[in-house]
Structure 1
Amino acid sequence: MIGADAIRGHIDLIVLAILQTRDSYAYALSRDIAEGSSGQYPIKQTTLYTALKRLESQGLLDSYESTSDTGRPRTYYSLTTAGADQLAALRLEWHATRDLVDHFAKGTDLS
């Protein structure tokens, strides 16, 4: 199981990356995250909703009302152009972060 602290700073990247492929609603996003992590990170609903509202208020997402395949009314989220730009920046940051953590996790000598 992946701890919330380990993933906390990367929720935006995860959400924006999913929404880059298609518009979605909170429940489906939560399911996609759980399935994409093979059940190792079941995101809490409050964490997801907080991220969605924050990303929307920053202009990175738009929301609209529609119905799901089951006919239920849902609030869908879509990536804006600014959101796509932010996703690209977050991916670069992730690669640098991963490289740094890998460096220390492998016990590589810094000298």
Structure 2
Amino acid sequence: MTQNTEGTVPQAEPFAADLLRGHTDTIVLAVLRDAERYGFEIYKMIRDATGGLYEIKEATLYATYRRLVKDGLVEASWGDETQGGRRKYYRITDAGRAVYQQNVRDWTATQRIINTLLNLKGGQS
């Protein structure tokens, strides 16, 4: 962030975190698309991708991991202990990839409709 003329760092633009909360599954599936990752690594990737503006609570993430595994969208396995404590790794399944792709299509269509509606110009009476 750059400083303004008063020498202070401007605050980040506010956003509606509740709009993102409904997309936690899709966000996690997106992180897992290219490689398996352990739980806290996923948390850090999401936080870092937004420059720290958005963090998913760890409890929410671990509930999401359990749900994704239960639904067959992600597989979980324990790593070895060569780098400290054992870590649980998550890997996206083919079903998870299909759900991710559908969710992205749904989001894109929804975004297009919302953008259209936000840009409506009212008629004159």
Equivalent residue for 2:28? 15
1:64 aligns with 2:77: yes
Residue matched to 2:120: 108
The separation in 2 between residues aligned to 1:69 and 1:102, in whole angstroms, is 49
Q: 1:108 to 1:81 in 2, by over 3 A?
A: same
Q: Distance in 2 between matches of 1:3 and 1:74?
A: 32
* Aligned ranges 1:29-44 → 2 under 5 Å: 29-44=42-57
- Measure, in 1, the Cα distance between the counterparts of 2:38 and 2:16: 24
1:67-106 mapped onto 2 (5 Å cutoff): 67=80, 70-105=83-118
Match of 2:3 in 1: none
- More strand as a share of residues: 1
Deviation (angstroms), 1:9: 1.3
Query: Which structure's CA Rg is the greater one?
Result: 2
1:25 shift after superposition: 1.2
Query: In angstroms, what is the RMSD of aligned CA positions?
Result: 2.0
Alpha-carbon distance between aligned partners in 1 of 2:47 and 2:41, rounded to the nearest angstrom: 10
Choose between structure 1 and 2: higher helix proportion: 1
The normalised TM-score by structure 2 is: 0.79
Percentage identity across paired residues of the two chains? 31
Partner of 2:41: 28
4+ aligned runs moved over 6 Å, structure 1 = none
